Chain A
Amino acid sequence: MTAKAMLCRCEDVTLDEVMEALDAGHHDIESVKRYTGFGTGWCQGKQCVLACARLLAQVTGRAPEMPITPRPPLHPVPLGVLASLGGDEEG
């Protein structure tokens, strides 16, 4: 892979940007997510989380970490659909 390889296509995060985050000392996946913005775009990490987790494991020599905290909804839902739902209970 070249340094300009796209790791997160939704948010335009390249391999060298993730490497820069690791070099800056961010050695956990939640920090790398917030430093580079990977995983926060349209696909919500389907494409990039695994690649970043693997890179992190390679660089730190530690076992891969838990995935980033998943953010609901599971897939994009239109506001009009949500507005028509009940769901007044907590949860």
Chain B
Amino acid sequence: MPRVVVIGAGILGLATAYNLAKRGVKDVLVVDRAYLCGGASGRNGGGVRAQFSSETNIRLMRESIEICRDFATEMKINVWFRQGGYLFLTRTAARARDLEENVALQNRCGLPTRMLDPSELHRIVPELSSEGVRAASFNPGDGVVFPWPFIWGYARAAKDLGVTVRPFTEVVGFETRGGRVTGVRLRPTRLSPLDATDEVLPAGDPYTEACDDVVLCAGAWSPKIAALLGLALPNKPHRHEICSTEPLKPWLGPLVADLTDGLYFSQSMRGEIVGGVAVEPVPEGVNQQSSRRFLTTYARALVRAIPTMAGVRVLRQWAGCYDLTPDGSPIVGRVAEPSNLTLACGFMGHGFMMAPVMGRLLAEHVVTGQTSPLFARWGLDRFARGELEHENMIIG
């Protein structure tokens, strides 16, 4: 009976585990060094969109949105999915050209995305200041979800299919033989001030779980874990901050994203305005601490974009890590050695929305061992081959 150990119980790990079980893999163990929702999957903006610049992303995200639409029924949990669209805008001529090219490509892929003229922009978000806006695009099918129930939904559905989800269990090493991973060294941990130190406290002796396959879904921590196997990954953690306001009556339809300064904001089904902005430079490594600089930068950008937001109060801010790759595309699929290791990391700032479709594809890849064109294109060895797949619709 093959046994798959999935490292990381974020959205990618849980979606993969659920789909493995659905495909009949009976023995799946998912471990996470802390509580569920402790990584990026519990800290993100819940944005779900198909407006991308690469055909691969556009086609995958169309499918993911389909899955999101049925998720509540399939998982029996309310994920607060709301399709209010994504409204991208830019204040530079260069980005305006990008946006037009991207919209044309999205249309060829069957998306109804369109460029907006100023009057349409005003109609969709009357409160938005159009000062300096050079171009805007809109896809009505994009939307937002509330990430937490999404995680719990996958976790519960996976458990119902026999998957073991073991939080507070840290991967500290591997046992290998003949170019394969034969065991994963695990150590129990306990609740620790994660955000302040990025360290977990040990709560017991290390032990080994034997495995036939390993899937590495540890997001921003993946390079550190791969290094335990002598494998060098090119992705890097990059702190990204976000905040939420007091709840307001529903007034904002789409998620608005400004490609010029990285400002984005949307209204959740709970009424809060959730958003962030690009802030550089950020501290090295995994860092999940909030800064005042973020809050003041965000406030300036948001009040400029929507002047009436000046009176609205911020309730809470927090931080997580993007998992950045050199070309903006993820790193997925089996590696040459260890031959039973599958990577699923490097999902930038849009891995939450990718997980529903990637979980299916990863499970298929692990079970059949077959490499579809996607896994060839997004595999680790593309960096050695120099065949990068650039994505330019990155927020923040």
Contact = CB atoms under 8 A, between A and B. Distances in A.
Q: Are A and B subunits of one complex?
A: yes
A85 B245 CA distance: 18
B194 interface: yes
Interface in B277-335: 283, 290-293, 295-300, 302-303, 309-318
Nearest to B292: A87
Which one of B35, B193, B283 has the greatest number of beta carbons of chain A within 10 Å? B35
Which one of B167, B290, B292 has the greatest number of beta carbons of chain A within 10 Å? B292
Given A42-B247, A72-B295, A79-B303, A35 B152 contact: yes
Contacts of B151: 34
A1 interface: no
A71 interface: yes
Interface string A26-49: 101111001101001110100000
22 contacts: A28-B191, A34-B35, A34-B42, A37-B148, A40-B316, A44-B315, A44-B316, A66-B193, A69-B193, A71-B318, A72-B295, A78-B311, A78-B312, A79-B309, A79-B310, A80-B303, A82-B296, A83-B310, A88-B293, A88-B296, A91-B291, A91-B292
B38 interface: yes
Interface residues of B, number: 42
Contacts of B316: 40, 44, 71-73
A23 interface: no
A61 interface: no
Contacts of B312: 78-79
A85 to B, nearest CB: 5
B262 to A, nearest CB: 16
Closest 8 CB pairs of A and B: A80-B310, A82-B299, A76-B313, A71-B316, A83-B299, A87-B296, A34-B37, A87-B292
Which one of B194, B313, B318 has the greatest number of beta carbons of chain A within 10 Å? B313
B100 interface: no
A72 B299 CA distance: 14
B58 interface: no
A73 B246 contact: no
Interface in B73-128: none
B389 interface: no
Given A31-B35, A80-B309, 13 more contacts: A30-B191, A34-B151, A35-B148, A71-B318, A72-B292, A76-B246, A77-B314, A79-B313, A80-B311, A82-B296, A85-B292, A85-B299, A90-B293
B36 interface: yes
A90 B167 CA distance: 32
Contacts of B290: 71-72
B27 interface: no
B55 interface: no
A79 B245 contact: yes
Contacts of A90: 283, 291, 293
A88 B293 CA distance: 5
A65 to B, nearest CB: 6
B314 A79 contact: yes
Contacts of A72: 290, 292, 295, 316-317
Contacts of B167: 31
Interface in A47-77: 65-66, 69, 71-73, 76-77
